[in-house]
């Protein structure tokens, strides 16, 4: 009986063990397949010549090459039999209403009502180094000579293609969330305005900017980790307003570093941990060693090989050769999904990546604290990045800091998102929105937002990019050029208005052709508008100016997206640090209120800034009173933030109750009204006997370069606007394999490679392409050459593609 009992006991234990194993695996499979997840990514790099860059509104900042490419990155999350949502992160300055409208039209044509304004969010990272002209409102396209169809088309196309990729890659998977502090990637650039918030409120927070990064880790049931998206607040202004190379700035760089890190080094065997070589001098993932082995030949043999490859004459090429030559085509693994990593923007309104502080260029001393001026002049006050005076190095450092934090959060992400996928969206007329506020003695009072208007300090710019003329931040004197029309509108005395009027008139008269078209169409603000915007002194009454078409938006989208315990607040502007905190706290109070039963205190709330359209800044009312740049750029008056909080609380309440919300008035589609004054490319030419793609200035023969040195080659070229080389490259570094085959190693989507385009004279049909390669510390020793791809335009309008290559050289 003892033996029988033992055997029975053994069988029972085995059966229970099997049962527990099955239960664990069934629940694990269910847990691993909470959602369907899909990711996508597509090139949105716009015209790399002649087009003004979006962000600084600097007339002289005209694109003339590529630092690295811009992309649209998308994730889709769907319940297997229920709701779904789309989030698109753009390497662009901001979202655009007309871009959003046209993307939604395309999605409707392709998918019906599956993807709509309700469940699609399109957000910008706020790089100030991307081509402009893709927004529909006048004030945002003045410096780009109006609307630029090429900028617009490539962004709309890229968003659509990235969403299609994500849709077609939907598979069962899970999502993990993690959050951590990143202390050295942002500082407050308007601390005097922040200090105007109450001491009690400021005491609740350790820092005067948000330091938290929130990251999502996407894990495919079959393939494991396939991507990550994170939100962190810091401006895309590591690149200055004198830069002319297209760049994703620090967030675009961080995304490139993380995607390359994954694709080249992947996951540790048997784990889902991402890693990179922290011992590398440049801190950036190695780009070449997985493409070719480290050659064993000695230096003399390498030089002999290199000397046998002279520069190739420029020759015709197919339109797909540039695409076929891309490095990341060679890196892609056909049997697994592409890894997609996005570094999204948050409430960055007063957060600068220039973490060393703001200094005067003439004295080297810190700028004036209250007004960011140097002896009264704002033009001399500039923020310094960590790589000062090298803006490319500052971009790399701030990008690398975000990248490393993202890797850390990615590796340690363990909290799984569970629960519903849901969303709420509404359009609101912010030009006259009623807002109910508590009164000091009890009860409620109703105030209103105002039609959009920009104050004097808007023209002063910021320490990231100072403006010109006699404008200062913190200018709250109620005076402006409208005095010349109706001085009775103002109670304040006129203080030396002549200089202000003359400066503004000088902008209009000496500015570009687009200014001259609209200079006489500016509307005098009404007395009601002046009072509504107080204490902002109005410089441009954009909301009441409708000729030749709307200068600024009135209808704005507000949107909440939910994935389990994660809530994304899609806002169409740049919230300051404290404004963002108030919004998040207000929404969290609604979501976690007693009796709602929908969320616990562990809800993660992130702000996705610059989403779906753009309407400049949102400050607290206390910051608005100071009228620094951010306050002067808060378009809808002192109660703008209160209006957002009121409306987002309504969306949050509807999300909990399951109730629908009114869609609101539709924003206008102004595409057919757009004015474009950018001259087309007429013709490209080379001197007699010279081909497009010929080398103009070659590498010296028998050259050997060391890691960290710069290699430079110049080619006879043509205007990059003839072909954007979408998903291709203008520039390529190739490495010699097996003594006779060239393999792609670096291209114009790499941080180490720069494509610079120029003309010998402004109206010349001739042009040059200079390609510079700063050899990374991680580059493999071997024989290299540099190649250029381009497209020329004939007088008859036909486009012909070409390519050319330099002499070979040795990297030791």
Q: Which residues are catalytic?
A: 352
The rounded distance, in Å, linking the Cα atoms of 308 and 224 is 46
Contacts of 770 (CB under 8 A, 6+ apart): 697, 712, 713, 714, 715, 755, 756, 757, 758
The residues facing 437 across adjacent strands are 445
Cα angle, residue 410 at apex, residues 408 and 413 outer, rounded to 5° = 105
Contact criterion met (CB below 8 Å) for 791 and 769:
no
The total of other beta-carbon atoms located within 10 Å of residue 3's CB is 7
List the one residue out of 295, 231, 266, 288 whose CA is nearest residue 75.
231
Number of H helices, E strands in the chain: 17, 39
- The separation between CA 562 and the C-alpha centre of its own chain, rounded to angstroms, equals 22
Encode 45-75: b = buried (16+ Cβ within 10 Å), e = exposed: bbbbbbbbbbbbbbbebebbbbbbbbbbbbb
What one-character DSSP code corresponds to residue 179?
E
Cα–Cα separations (whole angstroms), residue 755 to 287, 462, 748: 18, 29, 7
- Dihedral pair phi/psi, residue 634, rounded to 5°: -80, 100
Give 237's Cβ-side CA count (13 Å radius). Answer: 28
- The separation between CA 153 and the C-alpha centre of its own chain, rounded to angstroms, equals 17
The rounded distance, in Å, linking the Cα atoms of 433 and 223 is 48
The rounded distance, in Å, linking the Cα atoms of 751 and 733 is 13
Contacts of 583 (CB under 8 A, 6+ apart): 347, 569, 571, 575, 607, 641, 644, 645, 648
Cα–Cα separations (whole angstroms), residue 303 to 523, 739, 779, 783: 69, 12, 17, 8
> How far apart, in Å, do the first and last CA atoms of the chain sit?
80
- The separation between CA 97 and the C-alpha centre of its own chain, rounded to angstroms, equals 16
Element (H, E) at 553: none
- Dihedral pair phi/psi, residue 325, rounded to 5°: -90, -5
The rounded distance, in Å, linking the Cα atoms of 36 and 343 is 22
């Amino acid at each position: 009986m003892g033996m029988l009992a033992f055997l029975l006991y053994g069988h029972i234990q085995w059966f229970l063990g099997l049962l527990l194993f099955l239960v664990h695996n069934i629940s694990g499979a269910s847990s691993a397949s909470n959602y369907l997840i899909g990711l996508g990514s597509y090139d949105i790099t716009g015209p790399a010549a002649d087009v003004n860059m979006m962000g600084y509104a600097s007339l002289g900042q005209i694109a003339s090459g590529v630092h690295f490419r811009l992309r649209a990155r998308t994730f889709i999350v769907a319940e297997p039999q229920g709701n779904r949502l789309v989030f698109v992160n753009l390497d662009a300055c901001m979202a655009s209403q007309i871009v959003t409208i046209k993307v939604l039209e395309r999605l409707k044509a392709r998918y019906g009502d599956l993807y709509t304004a309700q469940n699609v969010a399109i957000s910008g990272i706020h790089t100030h180094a991307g081509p402009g002209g893709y927004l529909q409102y006048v004030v945002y396209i003045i410096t780009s000579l109006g609307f630029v169809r090429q900028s617009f088309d490539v962004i709309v196309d890229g968003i659509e293609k990235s969403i299609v990729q994500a849709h077609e890659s939907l598979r069962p998977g899970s999502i993990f969330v993690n959050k951590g502090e990143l202390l050295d990637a942002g500082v407050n650039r308007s601390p005097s305005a922040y200090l105007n918030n109450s001491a009690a409120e400021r005491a609740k927070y350790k820092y005067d900017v948000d330091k938290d990064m929130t990251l999502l880790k996407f894990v495919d049931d079959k393939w494991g980790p396939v991507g990550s998206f994170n939100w962190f607040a810091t401006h895309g202004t590591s690149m200055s307003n004198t830069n002319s190379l297209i760049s994703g700035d620090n967030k675009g760089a961080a995304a490139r570093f993380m995607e390359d890190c994954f694709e080249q080094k992947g996951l540790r065997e048997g784990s889902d941990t991402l890693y990179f070589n922290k011992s590398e001098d440049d801190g950036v993932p190695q780009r070449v060693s997985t493409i070719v082995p480290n050659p064993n030949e000695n230096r003399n043999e390498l030089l002999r090989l290199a000397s046998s490859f002279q520069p190739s004459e420029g020759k015709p090429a197919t339109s797909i050769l540039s695409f076929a030559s891309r490095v990341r085509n060679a890196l892609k693994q056909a049997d697994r999904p592409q890894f997609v990593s996005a570094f999204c923007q948050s409430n960055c309104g007063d957060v600068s990546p220039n973490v060393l502080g703001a200094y005067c260029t003439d004295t080297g001393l810190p700028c004036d604290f209250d007004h960011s001026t140097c002896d009264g002049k704002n033009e001399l006050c500039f923020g310094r990045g960590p790589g000062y005076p090298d803006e490319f190095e500052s971009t790399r450092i701030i990008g690398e800091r975000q990248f490393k934090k993202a890797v850390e959060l990615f590796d340690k992400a363990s909290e799984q998102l569970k629960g519903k996928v849901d969303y709420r969206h509404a359009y609101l007329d912010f030009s006259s929105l009623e807002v109910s506020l508590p009164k000091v003695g009890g009860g409620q009072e109703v105030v209103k937002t105002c039609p959009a208007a920009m104050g004097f300090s808007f023209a002063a710019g910021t320490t990231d990019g100072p403006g010109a003329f006699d404008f200062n931040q913190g200018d709250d004197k109620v005076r402006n050029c409208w005095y010349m029309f109706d001085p009775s509108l103002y109670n304040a005395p006129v203080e030396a208005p002549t200089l202000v009027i003359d400066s503004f008139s000088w902008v209009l008269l000496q500015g570009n052709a687009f200014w001259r078209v609209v200079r006489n169409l500016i509307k005098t603000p009404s007395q009601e508008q002046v009072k509504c915007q107080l204490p902002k002194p109005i410089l441009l009454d954009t909301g009441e100016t409708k000729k030749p078409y709307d200068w600024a938006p009135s209808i704005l989208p507000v949107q909440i997206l939910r994935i389990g315990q994660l809530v994304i607040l899609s806002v169409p502007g740049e919230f300051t640090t404290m404004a963002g905190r108030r919004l998040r706290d207000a929404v969290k109070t609604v979501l976690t209120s007693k009796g709602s039963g929908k969320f616990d205190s562990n809800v993660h709330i992130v702000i996705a800034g610059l989403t779906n359209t753009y309407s400049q800044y949102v400050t607290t009312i206390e910051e608005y009173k100071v009228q620094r740049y951010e306050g002067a750029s808060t378009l809808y008056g002192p109660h703008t933030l209160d209006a957002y909080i009121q409306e987002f609380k309504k969306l949050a309440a509807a999300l909990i109750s399951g109730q629908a919300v009114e869609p609101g008035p539709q924003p206008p589609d102004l595409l057919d009204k757009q004015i474009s004054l950018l001259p087309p490319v007429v013709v490209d030419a080379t001197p007699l006997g010279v081909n497009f793609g010929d080398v103009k200035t070659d590498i010296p023969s028998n050259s050997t370069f060391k890691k960290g040195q710069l290699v430079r080659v110049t080619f006879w070229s043509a205007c990059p606007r003839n072909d954007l080389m979408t998903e291709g490259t203008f520039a390529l570094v190739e490495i010699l394999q097996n003594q006779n085959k060239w393999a792609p190693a670096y291209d114009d989507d790499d941080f180490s490679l720069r494509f610079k385009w120029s003309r010998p004279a402004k109206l010349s049909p001739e042009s040059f392409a200079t390609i510079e390669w700063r050899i990374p510390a991680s580059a493999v020793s071997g024989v290299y050459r540099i190649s250029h791809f381009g497209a020329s335009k004939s007088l008859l309008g036909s486009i012909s593609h070409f390519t050319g290559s330099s002499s070979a050289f040795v990297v030791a």
